[in-house]
Amino acid sequence: MSTPYPKLLQGKTGLVMGIANEWSLAWGIAEAAHAAGAKLIVTYANAAMEKRVRPLAEKLSAEVHPCDVQADSQLSALAKTLEGTTLDFMVHAVAFAHKDELKGGITNTTREGFNLALDVSCYSLIALMKAMAPLLAPAASVVTLSYEGSTKVVPNYNVMGVAKAALEAAVRYLAAEFGPKGTRVNALSAGPVNTLAARGIADFQAMLKHHEKTAPLARLTTQQDVAGAALYLLSSLSSGTTGEVHFVDTGAHILGPTPFADRGL
C-alpha cells in the first residue's frame, strides 16, 4: 500500500493486534503504517491464526509473537519478550462474540456470551495497556476500533453493540489515566467493511447495501479509508487529540436511525 505520507511514522515502532487476513482492518492499518516507515510487531491468538498472520507479517518484515488477549499470562509474556523495545503506537483491533448471538434480539445473548464479548472486545484493551505501560514511549498513541452500533441500535449487532459502547467508555477512562504520561488513546468508528469478522453478523450484506445507498458519500467505507484515518491518529498529526471516537464511515453516522426492514419501516 502506498501512502501520501511516506515518512509519517519513520523511525517509529508499533504493535498491531487483531490481523485475521488480508481483508481485515488491522491488516490495512499495518500496511499503511509500514509504508509510512514504521517497524511493526504483530500478534496472533492461536495456532490456526498463526497460519494466516505469519505470511502477511513477513511481507512487512514484522516481528510475530503469540498473544491471546484473554490470558493475562500471555500479555505479561509478550511484555517480557518485548523488554527493551519502545512502543510508539499500538493498534487494538480485537473483538469477538458468538455468531449465534449476532442474530435476533439482545435477549438472545447468554451470560457466557456476554462475558466473552466484553472480555475480548473491551477488557482486552485495558489489560493490554496495563501490560505494555512500561514500554510506551512519551507521546505514544493507542488506537482501537469501534462501530456506530455502540450508540445506536443496529439490527443483529446485539451484544457487540454493548461491547463497543463499553470499549468507547474505556477509551475515555484510559485517555484520562494515561494522558499525564503523554499517551493518547482514541477509537476509530468505521463503517461496515466486508471483513471476516463482520460477516459473522446476520444479514450483513443487507447492512452493506443500506450503507452504500444512504451514506452521504454514496459508497461503502474501505479498508484504505480506515487505514488513512489510523495514520492520522497514530502520528504526531493528532498530537492534541485523545479520548475521541473518530468516525470514518463515509458520513453515515450523521443520518437518522437505520430502518428495521422486518418491521416494514
Active site annotation includes 157 = yes
pLDDT at 204: 60
The catalytic position among 44, 157, 173, 232 is 157
Residues making up the chain, counted from first to last: 265
Amino acid letter, 260: F
For residue 215, the domain's CATH number is 3.40.50.720
Is 233 a domain residue?
yes
Tell me the pLDDT tens digit for each residue of 65-89: 999 999 999 999 999 999 999 999 9
Is 6 contained in some domain? no
Per DSSP, helices labelled H in the chain are 25-35, 47-59, 72-81, 111-118, 124-132, 159-178, 204-214, 223-234
- Per the structure, the complete domain to which residue 21 belongs is given by 13-249
Active site residue 123: no
Per-residue pLDDT of the chain (265 residues; tens, 9 = 90+): 555 667 899 999 999 999 999 999 999 999 999 999 999 999 999 999 999 999 999 999 999 999 999 999 999 999 999 999 999 999 999 999 998 998 889 999 999 999 999 999 999 999 999 999 999 999 999 999 999 999 998 888 999 999 999 999 999 999 999 999 999 999 999 988 766 555 555 556 667 776 777 888 888 889 999 999 999 999 999 999 999 999 999 998 988 765 544 444 3
The pLDDT value given to residue 263: 43
- Model-wide pTM > 0.85: yes
Identify whether 188 is part of a domain.
yes
Q: Is residue 102 part of a domain?
A: yes
Q: Is residue 3 part of a domain?
A: no
Catalytic residue (choose from 5, 44, 123, 147): 147
Residue 8 placed within a domain: no
The domain total for the chain is 1
Please state at what angle helix 223-234 crosses helix 25-35, rounded to 10 degrees. 50
- Per the domain annotation, does 260 fall within a domain? no
CA angle 147, 150, 151 (to 5 degrees): 120
- Give a yes or no: residue 62 inside a domain: yes
**Closest by CA position to 226, among listed 206, 196, 249:** 249
